[in-house]
Chains A and B, each alone.
Chain A
Amino acid sequence: MKNIRIIVLAKQVPDTRNVGKDAMKADGTVNRAALPAIFNPEDLNALEQALRIKDKYKNVTVTLLTMGPGRAAEIIREGLYRGADNGFLLTDRKFAGSDTLATSYAISLAIKKIAPFDIVISGRQAIDGDTAQVGPQAAEKLGIAQVTYAEEILEVTDKDVTIKRRLERGIETVKAPRPVLITVHSSAPKCRTRNAKFIMKYKHALTVTEMQDATTDYEKLHQNRPYLDIEELSVDDIKADVNWLGLSGSPTKVKSIENVVLQAKDAKILTDSNNDIEEMIKELIENHTIG
């Protein structure tokens, strides 16, 4: 059996599912910075699929690729703690303001830089936008087939990958040639937890920038243990055309953002008393809303 080189795309996202009171600013808008940054949930499902391939076959490597600010290196460490082999952080100021098209351009170039690869796996979508666009766009830019909404990767052979997909009203099993890009649905199995052995092994896994900023000197440690290096990739490293990145490389523009202000209707305010509820039911029957 040939090697199976897997790249898992993972994103650090604000936890939009838990927008608590302290994340609201006085004007009623959300303070993004106050939200905890988490591993995008479906990217964890994706990582689990990659790790299962590693459990099942020999000569499998799992590489994480994340695009984001410096602190997104946390995502890579999180992946290493769960069983990934190494990771790359795609980070550069020039990426700021990129929409999904510009993002997928950068990611596809980073994948080519990391290549050779056989399978790219990502979550179906990120919870901060729910667009589900970056996976298919990256597949198109790489010129490879895409298989979306995977629930289980059933088999990998030297030639192809067999995948079970979750559709709105059923399932479909497909066989796609390697290399292929797969996006994983939330109905796929949850990701395994961190492994104590890997936490010990990788707790000092750092990017160069993090090493420079650290108060402790990790240089020596990293020289002896190169697997602790989290490689950073910049716009220059992936040889990207800056016109295709950031705001200028993004065909979609945000024209305006409106805070939602609720217009109060003239509601009838009722208590839970028998009388209030019976009166309401009578009105609804009378005006033919129910009954």
Chain B
Amino acid sequence: MNNVFVYCEIDEGNVVDVSLELLTKGRKLANELKCQLEAVVIGDELKNIEKELFPYGVDTIHIAEDKRLYPFQTLPHASIMKKLFEDEKPQIVLFGATSIGRDIAPRIASAMRCGLTADCTSLVIGEHFDKKANKEYKNLLYQIRPAFGGNIIATIINPEMHPQMATVREGVMKKEIYDAKYKGKIHKLEVDKYVNEEDFVVKIIERHIEAKKVDIKGAQIIVAGGYGVGSAENFKLLYDLADVIGGEVGGSRAAVDANFIEHERQIGQTGVTVRPKLYIACGISGAVQHRAGMDQSAMIISINTDIKAPINSIADYVIEGDISDVIPKMIKYYKKNSK
């Protein structure tokens, strides 16, 4: 009762990264709240899944295994979680902000009449005093996310209606083994007690899932371009630089919207979050939604014609200049000086 739950998404028999990141966060929250961490896994052929999960400090794994439960479908997964949550009364439930998490979390929140905050960039425990009701709340989940226009950061709470639910994008939280020898319990659900025939009215006719192509999340060096790059053509400069110094290319949402670069490479609150060793921001102004996805980079270089661009205030090197002059010079001097 009253524990922290994480919905673990399955992709071809493995738990996806964002779920492991949330377990890492969930373990920390559970330690602070002095409660347990529980994982929910729904799918088919889940043998040995516990070996993957226990090291993240999971105390209980709820497993619903049935061939009808993979690939993911909204209705049966929602029915299982709703009943499970009614029985177990979690205080916090976390979902990855993936196409699956963003589909199912609101359905469950509606059924349970609880609050849900999308795309949180930070989750911390705190208290709240409601002046009107003269009521004090301890140990609430602060769900923190950039909001409107990017100039504000909002802290959202759900004081009364629990569970407190939140979604978080992949890469926002760090994934870290808690204890390689950690052992918890397994709770196998009798699937037929949780779903009924009507949960299977939607039929999947066809599926084409491609292997992951670009992996900017794993890159040590990222050359990112914004609207200031000017064209898809100019982005070639960025690819050249990335090639030479061994990095990947990313972009801001404005660059994606302008079709300079594909959506998979978008960095920020509604794209991927990255923490590379080096982030080179080319023609990016640095809106808060963009910074939310890259401000943990170990070193930041900003190339911008506008010395006052907000990105410059978090940069380690600011080069005031046009990308079409600066990038070719960087390539030239890298080639000259590297062995």
Contact = CB atoms under 8 A, between A and B. Distances in A.
Contact of A146 (B107, B111, B299): B107
B161 interface: yes
Contacts of A100: 106, 116
B72 to A, nearest CB: 9
B136 interface: no
Given A147-B202, A281-B330, A254 B318 contact: no
A51 B250 CA distance: 36
A220 interface: no
B151 A259 contact: yes
Nearest to A283: B317
A23 to B, nearest CB: 8
Contacts of B142: 255
Interface in A241-289: 250-260, 262-265, 267-272, 274, 276-278, 280-282, 284-285, 289
Say which size band chain A's interface belongs to. Answer: 35 or more
B152 A132 contact: no
B256 to A, nearest CB: 11
Contact of B161 (A32, A168, A251, A264): A251
Nearest to B158: A251
Contact of A132 (B118, B128, B154, B257): B118
A131 interface: yes
A264 B314 CA distance: 6
A162 B202 CA distance: 10
Nearest to B314: A265
Given A253-B157, A255-B155, A257-B147, A133 B109 contact: yes
Interface string A17-38: 1010001100011101001000
Contact of A170 (B111, B205, B209, B336): B209
Contacts of B202: 145, 147, 174-177
The B contact surface, by secondary structure, is mixed
B99 A167 contact: yes
Contacts of A173: 204-207
Given A100-B116, A274-B329, A140 B110 contact: yes
Given A128-B148, A272-B319, A145 B107 contact: no
B157 A277 contact: no
Interface in A171-205: 171-177
Nearest to A187: B263
B321 interface: yes
A270 B205 contact: no
A13 to B, nearest CB: 11
A253 B160 CA distance: 10
Contacts of B228: none
Interface in A102-143: 104, 128-141
Nearest to B98: A168
Interface of A: 16-17, 19, 23-24, 28-30, 32, 35, 99-101, 104, 128-141, 145-149, 162, 167-177, 250-260, 262-265, 267-272, 274, 276-278, 280-282, 284-285, 289-291
8 contacts: A30-B149, A136-B104, A169-B211, A250-B115, A265-B316, A267-B316, A280-B317, A290-B246
